[in-house]
Amino acid sequence: MDPGGILKAFPKRRKIHASPSSKALVKKPKQEGGEEAGEWLSSLRAHVVPSGIGRARAELFEKQITQYGGQICAAQAPGVTHIVVDEGMDCERVLRLLRLPQLPQGAQLVKSTWLSLCLQEKRLVDTAGFNIYIPNSRYLDQPQLSKADQDSSVPPGAQEAVLRTALSPPRPPTRPVSPPWRTEEAPSTQAQPDCDDETSDGEETQVSAADLEALISGHCSPSLEGDAEPIPAPKGLDKWVCAQPSSQKAVNYNPHITEKLEVLAKAYSVQGDKWRALGYAKAINALKSFHKPVTSYQEAFSIPGIGKRMAEKIVEILESGHLRKLDHISESVPVLELFSNIWGAGTKTAQMWYQQGFRTLEDIRDQASLTSQQAIGLKHYEDFLERIPREEATEIEQTVREAAQAFSPGLLCVACGSYRRGKASCGDVDVLLTHPDGRSHQGIFNPLLDSLRRQGFLTDDLVSQEENGQQQKYLGVCQLPGPGRRHRRLDIIIVPYSEFACALLYFTGSAHFNRSMRALAKTKGMSLSEHALSTSVVRDTHGLKVGPGRVLPTPTEKDVFRLLGLPYREPAERDW
């Protein structure tokens, strides 16, 4: 959980403002029936904030506004009537994004759903229910025109066009940010008002929430078109997690601070307060990567990813050796953590059980209504929490390999995850199966599972078969023969050979390394998943693909790195 800052994942496009001669300012002829074509938005002077909405959709909004008689202007332009923003925004976030201290008098902050409804109904809909509250302190005083302005002989239309040009916000300078392994940004949806990170620019990105943590500041490459040749990576490639060996992780010079913050982060996480949890995780990783012990408020506040209130907490720890917030952690936290460690029970389920009065695993076992997966998770609670030694993971991989190759001798069988990254232990074992001929992997999924069950190796099925495109995945529980052997979590994934390299990369991880690679792919107009690396990908306003693009050939993991313009990293170098 530690990205490095924010990088817009799509290339910037220069906005062309309306000129006095533009069609946006020209009255359209009336349609038959008396309705004026293109004039029903004539009273609208709008600014569209693309963050959260998505740049492509924002530009479409702007085009439609001008098409129907409205005008696009800068957010701080006198006379702006509506500032259109994503539904998750609040006034403070909008001001940070616009880099403005206040908004012009009369401007309304409206949700993009209001504009969508207007365009759908071809009329100006009442903004009631779509407004975002603006405190009076966030409005500029009414501007007074100078005598020269009042006497200006410039035609009104031209005057407005000049205003739009002159008042357009300059392109902001690149803000120095820490490397992507230092900090973590919360997703670009509605922030909680008490979030400890007050300096986050996370809202400026237009990629999905899951990828925000991997992004950094830098140059955005245009979309990849055509050839499958390596494309130069964005400037600052050396700051991307996926470009760095994990051996370069910084030494933590501030463990006395991070240990206390980690307790709070965990508490917020199990209580379902993901925003505070992410804010703390971001600060923790920033501190872990700082090049020296923090000694003052000014020094803490200067670290990218640490806001004013977080810096105050750091100073409290420095001065007293303690953090008062730790004294007020709810008594529910250890119980929620206990419950959320049951396989198949997430934070919401744990909270529900707590609200029902359950306090122990015995309460859950005796009184709770459990799914079949939760019952298995409870039955093997202690075993699942116990890390799997590397030697035992090797035995598990070998057992699956021998059973699989009994059906087809040429099958490839690779244990992925932290095992493949060279760790001494792992939480579960992911075994990936394929066949180089592209055919012989088909039809072995169920026979393989039946064979392993007959051996007594598979003891419980969590998910018997999870279809994922052409991939098949089994989630279950295994136990090696012999006294005292623990029950272990095992996933078996069968993939076509054409997807093997991307699947191997994905299931090897780490999760943060993967997020970094996916985010980098987005900056190139590409898409990386466990199935394929694709180019010429078009995404919707939420950063989701609206078309599959064109799949690039990736026979090996090295090809994926090469096509992304990255140096190849061995599995052991991906342990971020």
Contact between 6 and 216 under an 8 Å Cβ cutoff? The reply is: yes
- Residues 6 or more apart from 496 whose CB is under 8 A from it? 434, 438, 441, 470, 471
Q: Which helix (H) or strand (E) holds 160?
A: helix 156-167
Q: Cα separation of 302 and 296, whole Å?
A: 10
Q: Which of 303, 302, 297 is CA-nearest to residue 319? A: 297
Query: In terms of residues, how long is the chain?
Result: 576
3-state secondary structure of 113: helix
Q: Across 27-141, where does the E strand assignment appear?
A: 45-48, 71-72, 82-85, 108-111, 131-132
DSSP string, 283-344: HHHHHHH-SS---SHHHHHTSTT--HHHHHHHHHHHHHSS-GGGGG--THHHHHHHHHTSTT
Q: Does residue 308 have an active-site annotation? A: no
Tokens of 67: 């098409």
Q: Cα separation of 432 and 490, whole Å?
A: 11
Q: Which helix (H) or strand (E) holds 467?
A: strand 458-468
3-state secondary structure of 369: coil
Tokens of 161: 């066009």
Contact between 296 and 254 under an 8 Å Cβ cutoff? The reply is: no
List C-alpha distances in Å: 83 to 43, 86, 91, 170, 413: 14, 10, 11, 18, 55
Contact between 64 and 106 under an 8 Å Cβ cutoff? The reply is: no
Exposure string over 227-258, b if 16+ CB within 10 A, otherwise e: ebeebebbebbebbbbbbebeeeeebbbeebb
Tokens of 245: 């060996």
Q: Which of 428, 429, 427, 425 is CA-nearest to residue 391? A: 425
- Running DSSP on this structure, what letter comes out for residue 386? S
Centre a 10 Å sphere on the Cβ of residue 108 and count the other Cβ atoms it contains. 17
- Residues 6 or more apart from 545 whose CB is under 8 A from it? 527, 537, 538, 539
Candidates 111, 239, 313, 522; catalytic one: 313
What residues act catalytically? 313
